Amino acid sequence: MRDPDDFDLEEIAAALEDQSAYDHRWLIDPATGEVLLWTADGGIDGKTPVDLDELDLVLIDPAPPRVWYRDMADFADLLSDEGAGRRLRRAIEGKGAFRRFRGELYEEYPRLVSAWQGFHDARALRRAIDFLVDNDLIAQEAAERARAEHLDPAVP
């Protein structure tokens, strides 16, 4: 098994968050830790189409939207500014929650943007670590150490 430092956790986190994977897929090479982009027309080198089943790589399936939604809800719940929390919780009700949350946050509470980004990033990096454990690419003990380096920051 590899060490968590052998992987680009930010890149894995971005792949886990990519909900637009209609014509492309993210993969990871277990031997090198490299994250690769596969497309139907260009394979992984951008030139040679190849079937996903022919590759000895691990597919990075995106985490379901409900996982990322929970981050928005948790952030809103943790805010000490009850008015901001209430408005952000209201913004995530129904369809279009992600767009409305970003709009409300950036337009009405720009002072909270960096806190949100830190909170979101910490959660995303821990998901990347969980992905590596779930796919037997790192050991549980190494994952626990890496998760401890990416705790949720304090929310104002």
Give the span between the Cα atoms of 50 and 98, in whole angstroms.
34
Give the span between the Cα atoms of 9 and 33, in whole angstroms.
10
Residue-wise pLDDT tens digits, 96-141: 999 999 999 999 999 999 999 999 999 999 999 999 999 999 999 9
- The whole-chain average pLDDT of the chain stands at 95
This prediction has a pTM of 0.93
Distance of CA 72 to the CA centre of its chain: 13
Residue-wise pLDDT tens digits, 61-77: 999 999 999 999 999 99
